[in-house]
Structure 1
């Protein structure tokens, strides 16, 4: 019986040790340097890392993973699983502006997870040793570059006693910089979600054989749930081959993604909506002539709102290169459900509903609502009235609640948040539900995601809590009145095709009005440095004019409506 991905890796290494598990495009280009790793080699390297961890008595403790893009992360991650160590994927500090942000987040994650060891690439570990004065947290943490662990260590690896309830890793949600929440994902959660992905994306044995095991191309960050649980771990689950490259190389030249799909002809590849928009901006006639996208059967689109306009334009633009509308694959998931909850039907174009049919906000937008598909097997999705905890009828918008074996154990060492989010009960249903905080409705068994219950801002696939942006703005300049700032997102571009952009509205003292331009520049710069977000608009308003509740809480939605209506009391 398969208890974990460790068992599956052992099986693949025994049955086809020479098959390529991963190839890595070092420069992002198909004609540049390429690194390949077979299943046999992957098993050896992950066991060597596991043995090193076991010899130091680290089973059950947490290991922070800090790697640059590449194959070393996968070896380190699987090494943790093979040692019974809880992996904690993180973002290594790099670059000056990024450095401060990544460093702050890394400190918080080390403290919250109580990490005992850091596994990383050689350059990262060397860099950490020079940061000792800024990182007192590292005093009791062992740091090792996994390249320096010899292959011979694999011989002393002992198979860990894993069960479905054993914790595999902590997936820290990317939303809040101030209060990171680690989602506790078990080996059982992982296996179940790989089963859901496999079924919803049509990764059948026949399809795998038809594709000669070439199933994935991905540039997605591997420390993020979509990049890790999807392309990287579904590869291990199936015993297939994935082609990977760095997200930075994709952002520099988005056409690299499409070129890799054209060259390696995988079945499945995808990303957030913004990735498709970036490709559209770089779609030259010459590129279209060079591409063959006819093998691409699942072009998944998730992690941020899926735009009907983007789907239409992508299908139309890349049709001459063999891309078929039926390959468009909107899906929905979240870290708290390991990853995937719903997915489209393979070989079927996405279901779109005209705005008048989408519920209480009918007629407010000319964009269609996009179906995120159907729940995976044995996954229950219900639409609930969040106040009454009662199920709503088909077509009515409410909070999306989820139940199934993929739903994670809870939040790491946060009993209150776990109870509020993972232990909801729904009238007329048995068992506990996960409250997603997302809004949507069901129609004919398909899920349409329409918004968020909380005011989360999603830009380029990354989550930002508005209160974090507001706090940064207020700390950036003393003229901003504390607790009198509202951050929210608005759609950019025609028909919302450009994704979301952040807007900030802030009250300032009347005597600071003469410095308005300077204040706006300082606020923009502060938010850019702290969060990596380019703010579309900073609006300074008169004191006492930002809408608040009776208890004094900022009403972000009302502020957003006033901004869109042009009724803010701007200075």
Structure 2
């Protein structure tokens, strides 16, 4: 295979110049405007951008990519790689009334990466120009609209001197348990993880041929590792075609994702668990009747807790459209491992470890879902981080990973790099990356149980917030799936009881008359299932619970908002 994705692009541009590399659904609708770019055109545009960067002597520097959804991001990203410039994907602020989270994250990326240039498109460049009057961080940066870089600059492009250890880009973590950090992903890391993804997801030459090169349909944001490494870069790695749409268009009408899958009939598509839940929330019999999901081979599900109930309901709802349960593909990964660590087996139903709940359906819905087997070359162990020893099969501990996919470390953060990427087992010199995730191995499959820092110890027993959140959401249909946060607080000074559990859950606004009933049902479910008495249940409006930009629940931020009294409950909380 190729030495880098720069080589992959050059090869595909030569071998299949007119083949569509990416198409973009401008409105999100299959009947709307469609933009596409061929491999030859993509190579030409990325080389023009690359030459512009090289002409200014920016090799080795950092370039922040601030693009709205569309194809120009891909040309900008590959332009950086082709110039030996370190790309820093970011979230583009929109309009004069900026999204506070996007602006805050942009300022952090500028400061932490010590970037010298911002690559963007017309609308974003104009917005940044206006913002520069009030944001000193932008004053010393060059901001270029890459669409204005002329095509003929490609003629002066020089192939960079890349090695496997050269940093390709900084993937800033989502910050679900800490401040975001820039993961240094090398060209070698990228190529190794694309190899892992290809093998685990069955992207064989035979499958690619069977699907006429239509590999992905994706609504995932390309500035996140899942949306970038999977549909965008795996397609480039293999020379296939991917269909993209804006995340916002998906969120507005989740059926756009399914209708695009039905039309383009890709081998692989997916996203976090909440994406499947959104489809279930908005589906109608008429929609199902008009879909054909029979060729959807890999429906990957990762980046947040995978819920057995979601898998079951999605199958039951869309089997009439040809969706097969064995297409569900739970997987596990993180930015520090470039992306994928483990994944299911293609065309094999997900494995479950049932929980002790009453009734067969309750047990299945609350079960822990397997995240599949480790990818080829991935050394995954379950460790006791304090004793630095591996734990027996079936025992829960911290997940440690060693492989060529594991990133170089955190950008300009030696202490965090040493703590996360330099772990060793007693008597073993192998360097492991500590994931901070808890799980266990059974029969060669990896099961994720929670986050090490989120673990709650109540009365000497370990409780994982994901387990409590699933149970709480099963208590009443008005509770929104994937929109519940549990955490512990020190209730000792108030009640003499030490650490106690709080549940914060988003509830449908039309349920305002049933709040006391819902809170009582949540208390009862947690008590019966986990033997816990809740300190508090807080029901809030949709969109209240803090999440990362990739949709992960921020339990620490929710806890801080709860303690600070800023959660704005729908009704008065029911304090025990």
Q: Fold-level match, TM-score > 0.5?
A: yes
Deviation at 1:196, TM superposition (A): 0.3
Partner SS, residue 103 of structure 2: helix
Give the corresponding residue for 1:490: 469
Aligned residue number for residue 560 of structure 1: none
1:499 to partner: Cα distance: 1.8
| Equivalent in the alignment of 1:393 | 392
Superposed CA deviations along residues 198-255 of structure 1, whole A, max 9, x for unmatched, are 0000000011011110010000000000000000000100000000000000000000
Q: Within 5 Å, give how 1:387-466 maps onto structure 2.
A: 387-455=386-454
Residues 342 and 372 in structure 1, CA contact (< 8 A), matched pair in contact too: yes
Q: For residue 210 of structure 2, what is the aligned residue in structure 1?
A: 210
1:99 Cα deviation (Å)?
A: 2.0
CA distance in 1, matches of 2:455, 2:69: 27
The aligned runs of 1:160-175 (5 Å cut-off) are 160-175=160-175
What SS is found at the alignment partner of 1:448? strand
Distance 1:214 1:447 in 2: 30
Aligned residue number for residue 481 of structure 1: none
Give runs of aligned pairs for residues 58-77 of structure 1, distance below 5 A: 58-77=58-77
Q: Where in structure 1 do 4 or more consecutive aligned residues deviate above 6 Å?
A: 363-366, 504-510, 523-542
CA gap of 1:500–1:425, structure 2 versus 1, over 3 A, is: farther
Matched, 1:322 2:322: yes
- Closer, same or farther: CA 117–205 of 1 in aligned 2, 3 Å: same
Q: 1:293/1:57 Cα in 2 relative to 1: closer, same or farther (>3 Å)?
A: same
1:114 and 1:540 map into 2 onto residues whose CA distance is 30
Distance of aligned partners of 1:182 and 1:330 in 2 relative to their CA distance in 1, 3 Å threshold: same
3-state SS of paired residue (1:498): strand
Show the 5 A alignment for 1:264-413.
264-356=264-356, 367-413=366-412
> What is the CA-CA distance between 1:176 and the residue it aligns to?
5.8
Cα gap change, 1:17 to 1:374, in 2 (>3 Å): same
Are the structure 2 counterparts of residues 354 and 178 from structure 1 closer, same or farther at C-alpha, using a change threshold of 3 Å? closer
Q: SS in structure 1 opposite 2:454?
A: coil
Q: String of CA shifts for 1:231-283, please: whole Å, max 9, x gaps.
A: 00001000000000000000000000000000000000000000111111122
Question: Which residue does 2:524 correspond to in 1?
Answer: none
The equivalent residue for 1:26 is 26
Shift of 1:429: 3.9
Q: 1:185 corresponds to which residue?
A: 185
Matched-pair contact (CA < 8 Å) for 2:118–2:142: yes
Count residues with an aligned counterpart. Answer: 505
Change (3 A) 1:97 1:149: closer
Deviations along 1:372-400, whole A, 9 cap, x unmatched?
00011010110001211100011101001
Deviations 1:437-456 (A, max 9, x none): 00000001000001110129
For the residues of structure 2 that align with 1:277 and 1:250, how far apart are their CA atoms? 12
Q: Distance in 1 between matches of 2:574 and 2:546?
A: 27
Secondary structure of the structure 2 residue equivalent to 1:490: helix
Distance 2:15 2:254 in 1: 37
Matching residue of 1:501: 484
Structure 1: any 5+ residue segments left out of the alignment? Answer: 358-362, 458-485, 511-519, 547-553, 555-566
The 1:243/1:541 distance shift into structure 2, 3 A limit, reads closer
Report how far residue 539 of structure 1 moved: 9.8
Cα distance in 2 for residues equivalent to 1:208 and 1:538: 44
Q: 1: CA distance between counterparts of 2:488 and 2:176?
A: 20
Partners of 1:252 and 1:109 in 2: CA distance: 28
Q: Distance in 2 between matches of 1:420 and 1:540?
A: 26
Q: Which residues in structure 2 correspond to 1:504-519 (within 5 Å)?
A: none
- Kindly state the Cα deviation for residue 322 of structure 1 after the two structures are TM-superposed: 0.3
Q: Match for residue 219 of structure 1?
A: 219
| Corresponding residue for residue 148 of structure 2 | 148
Q: For residues 285-341 of structure 1, what are the alpha-carbon distances to aligned partners after superposition, in whole Å with 9 as ceiling and x for unaligned?
A: 101110000110000000000001111111111111000011000000000000000
Q: In 2, are the aligned partners of 1:506 and 1:541 still within 8 Å (CA)?
A: no
The 2-side partners of 1:296 and 1:41 are apart by 29
- Quote the RMSD (CA, aligned, Å): 3.4
Whether the aligned pair in 1 keeps the contact of 2:327 and 2:347 (CA below 8 Å) is yes
TM-score by length of 2: 0.81
The 3-state SS of whatever aligns with 2:126 is helix
Question: Which whole-Å CA distance do the structure 1 matches of 2:349 and 2:365 have between them?
Answer: 20
Greater shift after overlay, 94-103 or 401-410? 94-103
Aligned to 1:13: 13
CA distance in 2, matches of 1:341, 1:497: 29
CA distance in 2, matches of 1:526, 1:213: 38
Q: Matched residues in 2 for 1:389 and 1:369: separation? A: 26
The superposition leaves residues 525-562 of structure 1 with CA deviations (integer Å, 9 ceiling, x where unpaired) of: 997799789999999999xxx9xxxxxxx9xxxxxxxx
Residue 183 of structure 1: SS of its match in structure 2? strand
Deviation at 1:504, TM superposition (A): 7.9
**Structure 2: segments with no counterpart, 5+ residues:** 457-464, 495-536, 565-572
Q: Please report how far the alpha carbon of residue 133 of structure 1 lies from its aligned counterpart in structure 2 after TM superposition.
A: 2.4
Aligned-pair CA distance for 1:493: 2.5
Aligned residue for 1:310, secondary structure, equals helix
Using a 3 Å threshold, how does the CA distance of structure 1 residues 535 and 436 change in structure 2: closer, same or farther? closer
1:42 aligns with 2:25: no
Cα shift at 1:178: 7.6
The equivalent residue for 1:463 is none
User: Are the aligned partners of 1:220 and 1:227 in contact in 2 as well (CA < 8 Å)?
Assistant: yes
Aligned partners of 1:437 and 1:243: how far apart in 2? 33
Determine the structure 2 residue equivalent to 1:159.
Answer: 159
